[in-house]
A and B are shown apart, each in its own frame.
Chain A
């Protein structure tokens, strides 16, 4: 008998009789105004070490980036509007992920944000290359002000039928407190996270 058959036979024999999964809809936060949701998002994100910058259009990003990154450090983005100053990473799609090793800043679009924990959801479509949001020294994510949901229940409602090869929630810069519970930002992923919130025009 294969291990598969053996395990399944044991599980079949030993599992208790069927119990239905509970309804989970009642857990969702309801009746929160978009302003409250946006405010909560900003508070949650700031608390975990993200920096929030409100912008009116994508054109505003260049100025903010120039304040932080000194040429010739590598800034990449797959977003066409940012080509004026960022290397186009969409052409790197199929490239060896190791070619991203020396990226200083990656600027990516997030699909939506989650107010209760300051997390942003992006799939590999927005990443271009899966490793990019992790390998870059610094990360900037752009999210529409109208694309913030209250909680994780609403978040998974949005991704219910989504198909992707890889997707992730990112909440703040990478961090560790493994050494005596002292919080250090910049473990193995990005050292900082800037969230550009694109205001509704």
Chain B
């Protein structure tokens, strides 16, 4: 399997496309800035959101039980899944019990994390994603490349071609208006005919047992209200204590994500409608482990706005698929190693640690500090790059010994010989696109000795 650097290099073979991808996402970042700068107490809002989540994480076991009790009182069936496999099995069983073979699904990164679609398909159940971007990547047989903008890596001409192949429109159409209308008509037919709908959950309220789903397209509502069975999948970290706390999160979420003041729909599901079955699946899948890592537990505060991706100078130029995990970008890079440290050992290194992600995060997750800390953990646990390890040991010895350093320096300048940017040879990645610095006649140290 290719790592981030290799996948990023592949993406960079088409520089025009990289420029287009970068500009598109930078535009979203600018919209976010504009929205954030219009709220006087924006920074206090972020801090408050972060503190609410501190409270949630510190009392999570109580909140989970409170939420469960209230949801049951509201007529919702609550399920618990310790991992992805159990989550998928629960979904399958609910559908089997109702004799349902076709389901419509709105955006849920959790179901991407659990690989629900392939599982259900193997079990003879058809799933259609109803978010426009997700439907597009589903037709293309690709995973989403961004948690909020799933097909941001695709050009409109490519989408036109997909719709030509799969939805029967004329070839050569690329007008977003016409393509969206095509998807509207196609998915309306799906909404009307599917008896089960699965949605994600943006927030769940312990105090009332209700959950909130935010969309711009209205697809979650169309699916849920037309279906006889509504399944909502949520990670156990999605809780907030009381309904009033939603005010803080709903002010932050869409502004951070797209620069909108709020999503078009913020739907509060509390009870099933008469005759409807409503299920909630509470999924752990490694979250309780992450909760036990003091350095990394704050990652569970994430409200999935995608702002860290839009601002990340690496993500914008490497594309979401280079992260080879359901949640790409900076936040994905601190979540994924918790799931599998070996498979995702490369992700914490796919960053310059510039810190922009931490600054845009609406719940103030210290993302870039956690990237640094994951690097230390990954190396200590033995998942680091071994060749690099030996070099690092030599570097450690030399740089901690002034004698060794100076001897090496006199003999041929240790840094000049060992720094990656100084080896003038085509196999050195520095030299591929960059010249090496011109070594001066003497180092500062020896100049100082002679002149002061």
Contact = CB atoms under 8 A, between A and B. Distances in A.
Please determine if A and B sit in direct contact within the complex, based on CB atoms under 8 angstroms apart: yes
A187 B218 contact: yes
Given A97-B226, A166-B268, A166-B270, A14 B130 contact: no
B288 A117 contact: no
Contacts of B59: 15, 18
A186 B82 CA distance: 39
Interface residues of A, number: 73
B117 interface: no
A19 interface: yes
B326 interface: no
The A interface is mostly helix, strand or loop, or mixed, namely loop
A24 B221 contact: no
A106 interface: no
Contacts of B222: 131, 134-135, 188-189
A175 B264 contact: yes
A72 interface: no
Nearest to A101: B192
A76 interface: no
Given A187-B184, A188-B187, A189-B221, A169 B236 contact: no
Nearest to A2: B80
Nearest to B221: A134
A167 B291 CA distance: 32
B243 A11 contact: no
B112 interface: no
B65 interface: yes
Given A7-B284, A15-B57, A169-B262, A188 B192 contact: no
Contacts of A27: 41, 44-45, 48, 247-248
A101 B262 CA distance: 27
A130 B274 CA distance: 11
A101 B193 CA distance: 11
B251 interface: yes
A176 interface: yes
A188 B187 CA distance: 8
Interface stretch (A52-60, A83-91, A149-157): A149-157
Contacts of A170: 264-265
A20 B19 CA distance: 46
A116 B260 CA distance: 11
Interface in A1-38: 2-4, 6-8, 10-22, 24, 26-27
Contacts of A2: 80
Contact of B245 (A3, A19, A24, A155): A24
Interface in A109-155: 114, 116-119, 124, 129-131, 134-135, 151-153, 155
B36 interface: no
A179 B292 contact: no
Contacts of B176: 179-180, 182, 184
Interface in B197-255: 216-219, 221-222, 225-226, 236, 241, 243-248, 250-251
A166 B269 contact: yes
B48 A24 contact: yes
B261 A187 contact: no
B244 A160 contact: yes
Contacts of A20: 55
A77 interface: no
Contact of A171 (B243, B247, B251, B262): B262
Contact of B265 (A21, A152, A174): A174
Interface in B178-197: 179-181, 184, 187-188, 191-192
B282 interface: yes
Contacts of B267: 166-168
Nearest to A10: B288
Nearest to A49: B264
A174 B273 contact: no
Contact of B284 (A10, A13, A97): A10
B129 to A, nearest CB: 11
A184 B156 CA distance: 13
Given A171-B264, A179-B151, 10 more contacts: A12-B61, A16-B297, A17-B58, A165-B270, A166-B268, A178-B150, A179-B180, A181-B27, A187-B219, A188-B187
Interface of A: 2-4, 6-8, 10-22, 24, 26-27, 44, 48, 94, 97-98, 101, 114, 116-119, 124, 129-131, 134-135, 151-153, 155-157, 159-160, 163-182, 184, 186-190
25 contacts: A7-B64, A10-B291, A11-B291, A13-B292, A14-B288, A14-B291, A15-B59, A19-B58, A119-B266, A152-B247, A153-B244, A166-B271, A167-B268, A169-B265, A170-B264, A172-B264, A176-B180, A178-B151, A178-B152, A179-B132, A180-B156, A184-B176, A187-B180, A187-B219, A188-B188
